Amino acid sequence: MAQADLVQPEQVTTAQFYPWQTLPRQQIARQYRQDKLPHALLLCGQADLGKRDFANAMAQLLLCRAPIAEKACGDCPECALIDAGTHPDLRIVQPEGTSKQIKIDQVRSLIEWSGHTAQRNGLKIAIIHPAETMNNATSNALLKCLEEPAGSTLMMLVTRQPARLLPTIRSRCQRVNFALPSPELVLPWLAERLPDNQNLALLLNIAGGAPLAVLDHHDEQYLARRQTIAKGLAALLTAVSSAAETYVMLAPDDPLMVVNLMLEVVADALRWQVSEVDGAIKNQDLVSSIKLIGQSVSKDFLFRLLDRLMQEARQLASTSNPSPQLLLEALLDAVSHRQVEVF
């Protein structure tokens, strides 16, 4: 097996279970102790809930020789091999290099690997992430492996879009759903890691309840950029700014982030139009811009803009999108001319 095919050190040295993952951790550990472990797990849930970290931590726990309280010991030979990225019975399958897809050759290599006897402790584990990046040919190749699983191999498919997987793949996996944890559980955990941040409740609300997103976006600059994007959209929709001026304002940001936030702002403006209650607005830090849009733009146009933004977000997130900056520029020009129909 080529070294490039093995899990790399940085992928597992930070492996950990989070407080909101106690139940699935206990369930899988119990199945393992009872010799009832399924041959495939489908780890599902929205982004930033730590599904990939869970898969890494679970792999290390199951391969560990001396686990402590359902956690890997970190000191045994198996843990040392995992930390070094050289454990022969652990395989990570993910898009390589600049590719955004898991390729069929990677799955074929995985199938060959899974057919061999475990070299260390009797169990072999493969983590496929993100599973939705497999195309049809790759998915069908994996399906054959799931239909005739090797007795000592556990495959963990990690996805935030399970509907994009073949139904036959989903049906052959035990599904593990990761729901949003309660703020009461998450906020103390965040406070331990960001003790000087006074906006944790706001940031958790902005993140839709996803804790790890707060860790990625917790500084004042992030909140300021959100304000800039929302104000830029409001200015464009009220003809205060041109498309070119708005583009200059928004160009420093990731186009997908810009479009996704625009999508949320427009959705909030529609909610406010219907209710005229500020509490109906999800993005509470952007209330003034959202209300300005709701007061100034017709419901019909906002619905059409919402459809267009969803289309652009899908295209930006796809595996074969064009130049993101050009796409954003064209979108702003279409908005300025009120020509946002979806084709």
Q: What is the pLDDT of residues 16-63, one digit of tens each?
A: 899 999 999 999 999 999 999 999 999 999 999 999 999 999 999 999
pLDDT-based confidence at 9, cuts 50/70/90? very low
Digit-coded pLDDT (tens) for 65-89: 999 988 999 999 999 999 999 999 9
Task: Give residue for tokens 């106690």.
Answer: 22
Whats the size of the chain, residue-wise? 343
Residues 6+ apart with CB under 8 A from 342: 304, 307, 308, 311
- Predicted local confidence at residue 322, as pLDDT: 64
**What phi, psi does 179 have (nearest 5°)?**
-90, 165
- Average pLDDT, integer, range 261-287: 94
Average pLDDT along the chain? 91
pLDDT-based confidence at 97, cuts 50/70/90? confident
Q: How open is the CA angle 26-32-38, to the nearest 5 degrees?
A: 105
252 class by beta-carbon count within 10 Å (0-12 exposed, 13-18 middle, 19+ buried): exposed
**Gap between the Cα atoms of 95 and 199, Å rounded:** 35
Round the CA-based radius of gyration of the chain to a whole number and report it: 23
Give yes or no for a contact between 93 and 128, defined as CB atoms under 8 angstroms apart: yes
CB count in 10 Å sphere of residue 4? 7
Cα separation values, 187 from 84, 193, 218, Å: 33, 10, 13
Return the DSSP state at 7: P
**Gap between the Cα atoms of 178 and 23, Å rounded:** 10
Task: Give residue for tokens 């070294």.
Answer: 3
Digit-coded pLDDT (tens) for 154-176: 999 999 999 999 999 999 999 99
Please say if the pLDDT value at position 267 is more than 50: yes
Domains and CATH numbers, the chain: 3-177 (3.40.50.300), 219-336 (1.20.272.10)
Q: Which residue has the higher pLDDT, 3 or 175?
A: 175
pLDDT-based confidence at 343, cuts 50/70/90? low
pLDDT-based confidence at 3, cuts 50/70/90? very low
Could you list the beta-strand ranges (E) of the chain.
Answer: 40-44, 90-93, 124-128, 153-159, 174-177
Give yes or no for a contact between 283 and 319, defined as CB atoms under 8 angstroms apart: no
Would you state the structure tokens that stand for residue 138, as one six-digit string? 């790759």
- Predicted local confidence at residue 4, as pLDDT: 39
Helix or strand holding residue 261 (H, E): helix 255-275
- Predicted local confidence at residue 340, as pLDDT: 84
- Predicted local confidence at residue 145, as pLDDT: 87
Q: What is the reported pTM?
A: 0.84
Number of alpha helices (DSSP H) and beta strands (DSSP E) in the chain: 15, 5
* Chain centroid, CA 296 distance in Å: 34
DSSP string, 16-60: ---GGGHHHHHHHHHHHHTT---SEEEEE--TTS-HHHHHHHHHH
- Predicted local confidence at residue 89, as pLDDT: 96
Q: Which amino acid is at 203?
A: L
Task: Give residue for tokens 């709701």.
Answer: 294
Strand, helix or coil at 154?
Answer: strand
Give yes or no for a contact between 293 and 237, defined as CB atoms under 8 angstroms apart: yes
Would you state the structure tokens that stand for residue 320, as one six-digit string? 């074969």
- Predicted local confidence at residue 321, as pLDDT: 60
Return the DSSP state at 159: E
Hey, CA dihedral for 315, 317, 319, 323, is it positive or negative? positive
Residues 6+ apart with CB under 8 A from 256: 313, 316, 317, 324
